[in-house]
Structure 1
Amino acid sequence: MHPILRWIFVGVALVIPSIGDAQEIAEDALQRARAELKRAVTDGEVAGAVHLVSRDSRTVYLEAAGVRDLGSRQPMTPDTIIRIYSMTKPVTSVAAMTLYEQGKFELDDPVSRYIPAFADAKVIDTSGDEVRLVSPRRPITVRDVMRHSTGYNYGGEKAKAAEYYEREQMRYRPPAGMLPPGMTIAEAAEALARIPAEHHPGERFTYGFNTDLLGRLIEVWSGQPFADYMQEAVLTPLDMVDTGFAVPDEKRDRFASCHTTRDGKLAVLDKAEASPFVDGFEFVSGGGGLVSTIRDYGNFCQMLVDGGEFNGRRILKEQTVRMMFTDQLQEAAGDFRFGLGFSISDAAIGTGESRRMVPQYGWGGYASTEFRLVPEKRMYQILVRQHIPYSNELANRLFGIVYTGVE
């Protein structure tokens, strides 16, 4: 909980008064965002959510509404621990870049230099009458891993190499694809090397097990278990005290259940106290394994907005952060923009004649969590909730409302 804020419960919502001089965004925009979040809860669109807005290193808005479990009716609060799934990916990418700054690797190094099994990697070719496995036109590089251009996906039914993912048991498991493969990330890296890629390295963006592979590379580069290095290099320096790959016993009463929609109504999909996420997994997923809180993730966002520094601690060099925010897909097919761990898009800021487009960086998570960074305005927004399948509709609405109040 933020120390300077006084929380007042009103029904299902947690309302925070204005913070005087710290208010950097038009109050009417924040009031409209507050009303929209309450409406989403009242109308049954979401069970519970928390929305945080920070500008100039200050929390200017923090709103919680609804419940973290439909059965117990416990309120959703800013200290609720949630599954952030793919919002783990940017954290893993930052951990990797701390090792880049130590000279442990170069971005265009072949992955096979560190995991030899990838020297025999293949690409699946379905263009002819028969399926063929061909050699890649060039080796898969670390840059490919970080920008999702390796050709590896998550092995869904529509994947060209689906049978290979099934054979290697490299798939997320029920319920609703919530649970990772049942193996270590070292074993997973070897398995992935035996699966043919969907396309040649660098050809296009293909979302998949790339950042899990990056977690294994971090183990090789650091000589430590991935979770240990993550804790040492990122979580501890950023005071991310409630973030990790499992939920400690003393914090389990703050862990949220995950919800879904059945027959048009909200329902519990993964009950907090019985969730496998409580104890964590053998598969320590750099792509989706962390649990966290909105406060902890706010510290991570603040470090990035501040160019790699947090509370006087230098996590990354400013030029490294700029590189991570630079589009790495210029030579790939399509117009999607992605850096080293972050999507790149444009946000409409302000209204009327003052409205203009500015770059924003971020990503989302499978349980419908989202964050956006706007370094030009020294601000970020985060929305956390726990709902599968993924939807960013509420986040886009709330973020867009807040942006109208930014000068």
Structure 2
Amino acid sequence: MEGAAMSRRALLRGGALLGAGAALGTLPLGRAALAQAGRWPSVAALAERYVRGRKVANMVAALGWGQRAPDVIAHGTLAIGQAVPAGIDSLYRIYSMTKPITGMATMLLIEDDKLELDQPLAEILPAFADMQVQKTYDGSITDLEPAERPITIRHLLTHTAGLGYSIIQKGPIRTAYERAGVIPGQVTRLPLGEMFGRGTPAPSLKAFADNLAKLPLVAQPGTRWSYSVSLDLLGRVIEVVSGQPFDAFLKERLFDPLGMTSTWFQVPASEVGRLTTNYGLMNGRPLPLDPARASVYLGPPAFPFGGAGLVSSPRDYDRFLRMLVGYGEFEGKRVMSEAAVRLGTSNLLPEGVNTAGTLAAGAGFGAGGRVGLGEQAGIYGWGGAAGTIAFADLKRGLRAGLFTQYMPADALPIQSEFPLAVAADLEAMATAG
């Protein structure tokens, strides 16, 4: 990375995914666009340009309409200098694209009447009953005031609970998070020091939640959008309410019904031949950061990170998106209720909270993902710290995902260029039709 660009804040934030979200509002509404899967020349050119220029090792895009099989664009190999081509079944660290999955898992429990959107968190995790709040954001962790209202499930889904993130916060609160093991994910086994975070993650979701409850909030609940560990905490909520380990719940309620057989918190040793290498961009050059055969993802994580922990394939993530554009149906089976999908992909921000100046600027926020407003209504998605991005346009039945592996995501403009390339191809389809 060039200078300070290798910031811890950049590593897992993933929210840059729809930083060019306005481009998604240009998706044409014409029937001609909906009728044609066609070719995606702008997306193909984007992938080919980055791979040919050796900026990234590979790039795979999966784009589709409704319940149809996706169109696949694939360039490059699993690692620079290797011969194995990347494709729809290659494995990628999706980091914060885990958040929409955790968000929809939460919606399943709301659908089951085991949770309520505005239910106080303390009814499930009593340790969060009497929270203290920093008087100054990222200021002193001893100059505190009582929380004015309880944290709710809505707040956790939308990053408005007042929780922090060690990759976002500064000063003593960040240090307190690190010392408490409130660490949001993993990057590499290599000894790269502060570049990729300090501290050891708590040994379980229970310990993570218990330690988090002892730390002050960075903002009053329900008043500010601040990217946070809230989706990780929802993993603990899910396991308490469901009576199952969080990863087991995901497998039973989402991964198995959707045929997502290549999505894990730990990559099985038998599948390492499909795993891509993740790269760090050093002075513009990609250098191996998490080589596939020595990947940190081959070992068990400290706990299943609901905010940034999954490895998945383009095929699997497309299946998740296909369920969303089907309003809960997938291959003739109902996985979620239509009402749960509509609610989870709608703007759930508390009244008075706006996203100006944040990673979700210009949009609302739903169950773990950014949602479009106005003409962009119906668009839901998020991205990952290693350059991945995916969204579903429920109104138009479009789903789109782009997969590559480099850090930090904002070192290259790929996540903003992908929506623009999709929009350009859709406009061409509409004109041709």
- Residue 116 (structure 1) shift: 1.2
Which runs of no fewer than 5 residues in structure 1 stay unpaired?
1-20, 348-355
Match of 1:124 in 2: 134
The question of whether the paired residues in 1 share the 8 Å contact of 2:130 and 2:147 is answered with no
Match of 1:47 in 2: 57
Change (3 A) 1:339 1:46: same
The question of whether the paired residues in 2 share the 8 Å contact of 1:189 and 1:213 is answered with yes
Match of 1:400 in 2: 423
CA distance in 1, matches of 2:376, 2:94: 28
CA distance in 1, matches of 2:141, 2:298: 45
Alpha-carbon displacement from aligned partner over 1:94-153 (angstroms, at most 9, x marks no partner):
112111111111111111111111113211113899951211000111111111101112
1:364 has 2:383 as partner: yes
Which of 352, 372, 376 pairs up with 1:331?
Answer: 352
Of the structure 1 ranges 158-167 and 216-225, higher mean CA displacement relative to structure 2 is found in 158-167
Which runs of no fewer than 5 residues in structure 2 stay unpaired?
1-31, 357-362
Q: What amino acid sits opposite 2:102 in the alignment?
A: T
1:161 has 2:194 as partner: no
Question: RMSD in angstroms over aligned alpha carbons?
Answer: 2.5
Give the match's secondary structure for 1:380.
strand
* Bigger strand fraction: 1
CA distance in 2, matches of 1:390, 1:260: 10
Change (3 A) 1:247 1:193: same
Q: How does 1:305-384 map to 2 (within 5 A)?
A: 305-329=325-349, 330-335=351-356, 336-345=363-372, 359-384=378-403
TM-score by length of structure 1 reads 0.86
Change (3 A) 1:165 1:257: same
* Bigger helix fraction: 2
Match of 1:195 in 2: 215
Alpha-carbon displacement from aligned partner over 1:249-306 (angstroms, at most 9, x marks no partner):
2211111110121122121111011111112302211111111100011110000001
1:30 has 2:40 as partner: yes
The question of whether the paired residues in 1 share the 8 Å contact of 2:108 and 2:340 is answered with no
Match of 1:15 in 2: none
Change (3 A) 1:374 1:315: same
CA distance in 2, matches of 1:223, 1:90: 21
Of the structure 1 ranges 124-133 and 89-98, higher mean CA displacement relative to structure 2 is found in 124-133
- Residue 178 (structure 1) shift: 7.7
TM-score by length of structure 2 reads 0.81
The question of whether the paired residues in 2 share the 8 Å contact of 1:52 and 1:63 is answered with yes
Give the match's secondary structure for 2:390.
strand
Alpha-carbon displacement from aligned partner over 1:39-84 (angstroms, at most 9, x marks no partner):
1211223221101110132235211001221243432111101111
CA distance in 1, matches of 2:70, 2:315: 13
Say which structure, 1 or 2, has more relative contact order (CA 8 Å, 6+ apart): 2
1:223 has 2:250 as partner: no
Which of 144, 160, 169 pairs up with 1:149?
Answer: 160
- Residue 333 (structure 1) shift: 3.8
- Residue 218 (structure 1) shift: 0.4
